[in-house]
Structure 1
Amino acid sequence: MKDKAEVVIVTGSSGMIGSALIHKLAEKYHVIGFDHDGYPFPPAEAECVSVDLTSDDRMDFAFKRVRYAYGNKIASVIHLAAYYDFLGEPSDLYDKVTVKGTARMLKYLQDFEVEQFVFSSSMLVYKPSSPGVLITEESPLVPKWDYPKSKVTTEKVMNEKRGEIPIVMMRIAGVYSEEGNSIPITNQVQRIYEKQLSAKLYPANTAHGSTYVHRDDVINAIALTIEKRNDLPKEVVMNIGDDETLSYKELQDIISTEIHGNKMPIIAIPKWFAKTGAFMLNLFGKAFIKPWMIDLADDHYEMDSSKAKKLLGWKPKHGLRETLPKMIENLKDDPKKFYQVNKLE
């Protein structure tokens, strides 16, 4: 039976991670899903509380509802909600939603007994490394575009505004699942599946890559973070990622072999050529690859998650190498569904 005092708030509760997290947490906690008005809604296991991170009135109303229904004690706040896009253009929503929205939440939480506030940050806050060089929590922060920049700024705000609330900053690798759910990976899958010319062209070092992490492993890490909240430092940063980091070439080889039965060759092209091609594709259509992404194609992110393993007793149970064949199987079984789930054009 649930302990009535164990209340967990999940923001971004209708999202890919938030929904799955609620399914797991609802077995043990009273879960409140903070989300925007309208569809999609959080899972039925959570009470849905409509909130706008940019509005004091809406935030005040949401927390009045929490106090009225559940009292003054909150075991954990899992803050997943944030603004992001892949347009590469400046947006004041990074500041309004991610930075100031988090500060606003912490302001209203000062009136509660909060045992923990967990912020979903990103691997992309770090300065890129090189193959074999692991990124730790002490590695330099050099975010290169607006999304990770907003995460770094928000981490600083949390340190300033947390008061007595213990905080956990999870710097999470790129998330994937058997259904796809990773924009970079599923777009690479699409290019290879459709035998697009762009699938064979690459303007960077194919030995470079990025760490990813399975959605279920992220959820387990968060669940353990809540469970062990009284044993953690008052301020802690943890990397959450797979044990293995695949290079771009390894991804290409696995995906193309699973789809077409053979490895698709990669042809090196200059960055200026790739930028021109990306510009033209977006000029006459809506392509995933934007010109600004070309400058980041050489970046390599290889994370060390040993701190989370030590503090939480967490270990990833999945790997991208083993999950990709299942992802491709789902694509082949129902291409239309795969495209819809992953919002592929």
Structure 2
Amino acid sequence: MEKREPESRSRGAQKELVVVTGASGLIGTALIEKLASKFLIAGLDNAGYPFPPAEAECICVDLTSDNSVEFALDRIRYAYGNRIASVVHLAAYYDFLGKPSDLYDQITVKGTERLLKNLQKFKVDQFIFSSSMLVYKPSSPGVKIDEEWPLEPKWDYPKSKVATEKILHDKRGTIPVVTMRIAGVYNGQGNSIPVVNQIQRIYEKQITARLYPGDITHGSTYVHLDDLVNAIVHTIGNRKELPAELTLNIGDDETLSYQELQDIISKQLSGKIAEIIPIPKWFAKAGAFMLNLFGKAFIKPWMIDLADDHFELDSDKAKKLLGWKPRHGLRETLPEIVKNLKANPEKFYKVNKLK
């Protein structure tokens, strides 16, 4: 009897395989849609809704389970063979609660370790890990953070990224690894939790929109979703020329201060700038505690200590090695975001999971 190749392997014999974890998320979805014309895509994510785009084979995986990760990788081997052009690892645990959670260790750290262990059975050209700008020690306005900047993660999310970066260094074997330390991601619909919550406070004329317990000349770098996706695509395309271990910052060219964000948003919403009133940190913490005692406010007491932090990212290394550059900026995109809010507030709140 003639032996037949699995359908997915024979159907795309000329295409190489890219594996994307966190395939149903904002970044994973946009990346899959961008890559689908040139690659076969295996999308790994939790079981159930939401699902990865139809362009990817949906493979359910629980990163906290040895058996589940092994089964998912066995499925990939059966369908596509032992060669993988790139694994783009986006899956991670993340919340703004500020409370300790075992999920950071089980999903982000140990989940990556499980994935890496099972990938040793494959010929993998590249492993891309989505780390965070927040692993760095804060800088100051005008002082840009490059990849050699000291690390000083201050809460569980960036701490889990630093721990995972070490796992990748120690246990990658012969798999080349690119660590992307990514700025806060946004697009024209918003999709940046800090930015859209600031917009919401101003739009709803909340008293907290006028109060700030930190240095309003400080801020953080962001990156447009399209630019991040293009950076990943460039990284995959250049995989054979890149070093075996590489760390890259990915962010916009401009870093807006809190004051600038406030002014742009206020002007787009009401045509005028709203003055920010400085308040002491103890007062802000007490207010945040009370707001969360009687409801679910975005601002948590633990965030107050970070209000002075400034992250100004230097992405020159990525520009030089990848031939990439950001084509968007938050300053130019904020009017589009606010326009979408004003055109359809209900949709904006739903898309951005606001209450």
TM-score interval, normalised by the smaller of the two chains: over 0.9
1:279-308 deviation line (CA, Å, top 9, x unaligned): 000000000000000000000000000000
TM normalised by structure 1 equals: 0.99
For the Cα contact (< 8 Å) 1:3–1:29, is it kept in 2? no
SS in 2 for 1:33: strand
Instruction: Please state if 1:167 is matched with 2:177.
Output: yes
Q: Equivalent of 1:305, from 308, 315, 318?
A: 315
Q: Pairwise mapping of residues 157-306 of structure 1 onto structure 2 (< 5 A)? A: 157-306=167-316
Q: Pairwise mapping of residues 326-341 of structure 1 onto structure 2 (< 5 A)? A: 326-341=336-351
Q: Equivalent of 1:58, from 68, 93, 103?
A: 68
Instruction: Please state if 1:123 is matched with 2:120.
Output: no
Aligned residue in 2 for 1:114: 124
SS in 2 for 1:171: strand
Aligned residue in 1 for 2:34: 24
1:45-90 deviation line (CA, Å, top 9, x unaligned): 0000001111111111111110111000000000000001000000
Deviation at 1:5, TM superposition (A): 4.8
1:151-198 deviation line (CA, Å, top 9, x unaligned): 000000001110000000000000000000000000000000001000
Q: Equivalent of 2:147, from 122, 137, 152?
A: 137
* Aligned AA (1:55): S
* Aligned AA (1:323): T
Gaps of 5+ in 2: 1-10
Aligned residue in 1 for 2:334: 324
TM normalised by structure 2 equals: 0.96
* Aligned AA (1:51): V
- Measure the CA separation in 2 of the matches of 1:67 and 1:154: 25
- Measure the CA separation in 2 of the matches of 1:285 and 1:110: 47
SS in 1 for 2:306: coil
**Identity across matched positions, percent:** 70
1:13-50 deviation line (CA, Å, top 9, x unaligned): 00000001000010100001000000000000000000
Aligned residue in 2 for 1:71: 81
Q: Pairwise mapping of residues 144-163 of structure 1 onto structure 2 (< 5 A)? A: 144-163=154-173
- Measure the CA separation in 2 of the matches of 1:22 and 1:296: 34
Aligned residue in 1 for 2:8: none
SS in 1 for 2:91: coil
Deviation at 1:3, TM superposition (A): 5.7
For the Cα contact (< 8 Å) 1:127–1:143, is it kept in 2? yes
Instruction: Please state if 1:104 is matched with 2:114.
Output: yes
Aligned residue in 2 for 1:48: 58
Deviation at 1:2, TM superposition (A): 6.1
Instruction: Please state if 1:344 is matched with 2:351.
Output: no
Deviation at 1:332, TM superposition (A): 0.5
For the Cα contact (< 8 Å) 2:15–2:38, is it kept in 1? no
Aligned residue in 1 for 2:325: 315
For the Cα contact (< 8 Å) 2:20–2:89, is it kept in 1? yes
* Aligned AA (2:159): K
- Measure the CA separation in 2 of the matches of 1:5 and 1:183: 36
Which deviates further from its counterpart, 254-263 or 4-13? 4-13
* Aligned AA (2:144): L
Aligned residue in 2 for 1:81: 91
- Measure the CA separation in 2 of the matches of 1:186 and 1:3: 43
Deviation at 1:4, TM superposition (A): 3.2
For the Cα contact (< 8 Å) 1:4–1:30, is it kept in 2? no
Deviation at 1:249, TM superposition (A): 0.2
Q: Aligned residue pairs: how many?
A: 345
1:66-116 deviation line (CA, Å, top 9, x unaligned): 011100000000000000100000000000000000000000000000000
SS in 2 for 1:279: helix
1:134-163 deviation line (CA, Å, top 9, x unaligned): 000000000000000000000000011100
- Measure the CA separation in 1 of the matches of 2:55 and 2:270: 41
* Aligned AA (1:232): L
SS in 2 for 1:85: coil
Q: Alignment RMSD, CA only?
A: 0.9
